Amino acid sequence: MTEWWRGGVIYQVYPRSFCDSDNDGVGDLPGVLSRMDYLAQLGVDGVWLSPFFESPMRDFGYDISDYRKVDPIFGTLADFDNVLEGAHARGLKLVIDQVYSHTSDQHEWFKESRRSRDNPKSDWYVWADARPDGGPPNNWISLFGGQAWSWDSRRKQYYMHNFLSEQPDLNFHNAEVRAEILDAARFWLERGVDGFRLDVANFYYCDPQLRDNPPKSPDGGFARPYWHQRHLHDRSQPENLEFMGELRRVVDSYGELMTVAEIGSDSYIDRSIEYTEPGRLHTAYNFLLLENGPLTTGLIRNALESWTSETSWPSWSFSNHDVVRARTRWGGEAAGDEFANLLMGILMCLRGTIFLYQGDELGLPQADVPFERLQDPEGIRFWPDSLGRDGCRTPIPWAKGEPNAGFSTVEPWLPVDPLHHDYAVDAQESDPASTLALTRKFIAFRKAHPALRLGTSRFLDAPEPILAFERGETEGDGPLLCLFNLGDKEVEYQLPCPVEKLDYGLPGTVEGNKAVLPPWGGLVLAI
């Protein structure tokens, strides 16, 4: 079986902000299709398409009201089929988001469930009676703030929601719910998708006894109430792993596809490994490199060395639609293009499947979105100490100097940061030293060297700020020595053996038996 995803590079498209074909200020599926050549020219193996399903858009598509319909703001089902065909015609795989943990409160399932306690779907969501004092059944907290329970006056019960109150959690203990979700998966598999990215994959089940979560250490200095608890009962339940096996068997029945889990957990790596052991999902990524910092050799080394399983496969990403872009998160507002290039150079040398978030190939910094233009309910609630989801979701700049950087002539749903004009695609296309050009080079280099896609990984002891690791020999390639300078001053590294410098694209030289790395420089060496 050809495991195209193993060691591959998958590009995340956030449709609302990728390309607006009908000039209404919101990106859409025809827009994605119109830029398919751009994605193919990057050299990526596949595309992950964030939600485009029918939705009230309270959480911008992660609150689905119909799993089998395309929201009109993005186009039609025929438009999706055209995107799928366009990707396949260019040799690209297409992976789509699936949000199974919860639905919109506008989904017909929930509308029926909330009507009474004895209707056919009464047990399709997590409902519970109030405590004797009228309060919610336990102490669970929503990630988006407040209690994870909302009162429904029709049923005179509380319903659970890990996120917005408009995103009620499905009851996966109900076999009918599981069957319906698997049928929804089959709908897209039969259309020919190449796999699924599973949103909050460890949130499907909760403790049926609804026991309180215990507190963490009270002196933790946590910024949000959610982080004050040890989430033992509202996520990552044992039954969740059994459902991963059920879903895997359905996906495998359609051929050489892939499943990747998004894992939200305090146990970043252990939980990811648990979900990707044989018979479960193909791979998983977590937030260890998406939320933590600063960027140090220890951060990268700890992440990769913590993946100790020999039977499961990791995935890594430095940015996505939920976190501050890596250039700004790790480099600060003053980070230059050299820093953005370094990040891309490191990412493309890591062992695992790589997820590249739209705009990172341009080196985009986090956009500045004024409070009055914020759209994200989480960002508004926790402003100014939010994850910055609006600032990483602003439209892609296609044309420097054009209205809204070529995204649309009308005002887009989120404003284009004026500073992003300088990073526009057309401004970088003609510059061989641009982040876009280097990203294409890094991806091509990774494809040309199986050691980077499939080889083992072994970190070498080196003084900060030098990140040094070997990628193990594979058939016909390697081994390779990867060296990166995470600092703003030139450093030297004593080479352990004779090497041959390869043309990777970052600044760095070999002088005798030492490597010389300028600030934010890097080398990939054949050993």
pLDDT higher than 60, residue 241? yes
Would you state the structure tokens that stand for residue 326, as one six-digit string?
A: 């890596």
Would you state the structure tokens that stand for residue 465, as one six-digit string?
A: 């700020």
C-beta of residue 486 within 8 angstroms of C-beta of residue 467: yes
Q: Give me the pLDDT at residue 237, please.
A: 97
Q: Give me the pLDDT at residue 213, please.
A: 98
pLDDT digits (tens, 9 = 90+) for 405-434: 999 999 999 999 999 999 999 999 999 999
479/4 Cα distance (integer angstroms): 22
pLDDT higher than 80, residue 309? yes
pLDDT higher than 70, residue 466? yes
The region of weakest confidence among 219-223, 251-255, 275-279, 511-515 is 219-223
Beta bridge partners of 149: 160
**Of the candidates 524, 522, 463, 480, which has an alpha carbon nearest to the alpha carbon of residue 297?**
463
367/416 Cα distance (integer angstroms): 8
pLDDT higher than 80, residue 494? yes
- Mean pLDDT (the chain) is 96
Considering the entire predicted model, what is its pTM?
0.97
What integer is the mean pLDDT of 27-56?
98
Q: Give me the pLDDT at residue 194, please.
A: 98
Q: Give me the pLDDT at residue 277, please.
A: 95
DSSP structure class, residue 102? B
Q: Give me the pLDDT at residue 76, please.
A: 98
Report the run of H or E that residue 517 belongs to, with start and end. strand 514-517
Q: Give me the pLDDT at residue 343, please.
A: 98
**Of the candidates 158, 161, 131, which has an alpha carbon nearest to the alpha carbon of residue 143?**
161
pLDDT digits (tens, 9 = 90+) for 433-463: 999 999 999 999 999 999 999 999 999 999 9
524/506 Cα distance (integer angstroms): 9
158/171 Cα distance (integer angstroms): 13
Q: Give me the pLDDT at residue 475, please.
A: 80
What integer is the mean pLDDT of 323-347?
97
Cα dist from 112 to 100, 103, 105, 180, 206, whole Å:
18, 13, 10, 15, 22
Q: Give me the pLDDT at residue 230, please.
A: 95
Q: Beta-strand (E) ranges in 386-489?
A: 457-459, 466-471, 480-485
Q: Beta strand pairing status for 509-511 and 514-517?
A: antiparallel
Q: Is 318 exposed, middle or buried (0-12, 13-18, 19+ CB in 10 A)?
A: buried
Could you give the residue numbers annotated as active site? 199, 262
Q: Give me the pLDDT at residue 219, please.
A: 63
The percentage of the chain sitting over the pLDDT mark of 70, rounded to a whole number, equals 98
Domains of the chain in start order, with CATH, are 9-103+174-444 (3.20.20.80), 456-526 (2.60.40.1180)
Q: Give me the pLDDT at residue 94, please.
A: 98
519/515 Cα distance (integer angstroms): 13
3 state SS of 170: strand
The percentage of the chain sitting over the pLDDT mark of 90, rounded to a whole number, equals 94
Q: Give me the pLDDT at residue 218, please.
A: 66
User: Cis peptide leading into 465, omega within 30 of 0?
Assistant: yes
153-157 contact pairs (CB < 8 A, 24+): 154/114, 154/115, 154/116, 155/114, 155/115, 155/116, 155/117, 155/127, 157/117, 157/127, 157/128, 157/129, 157/130
Q: Give me the pLDDT at residue 387, please.
A: 65
Q: Give me the pLDDT at residue 386, please.
A: 76
Looking up tokens 């070997």 gives 470
**Of the candidates 146, 172, 136, 162, which has an alpha carbon nearest to the alpha carbon of residue 247?**
172
Q: Give me the pLDDT at residue 478, please.
A: 81
pLDDT higher than 60, residue 1? no
- Kindly indicate the confidence band of residue 50, based on its pLDDT and cuts at 50, 70 and 90: very high
pLDDT digits (tens, 9 = 90+) for 76-114: 999 999 999 999 999 999 999 999 999 999 999 999 999
pLDDT higher than 80, residue 490? yes
Q: Please give the single-letter amino acid code of residue 37.
A: D
**Of the candidates 269, 298, 289, 330, which has an alpha carbon nearest to the alpha carbon of residue 461?**
298
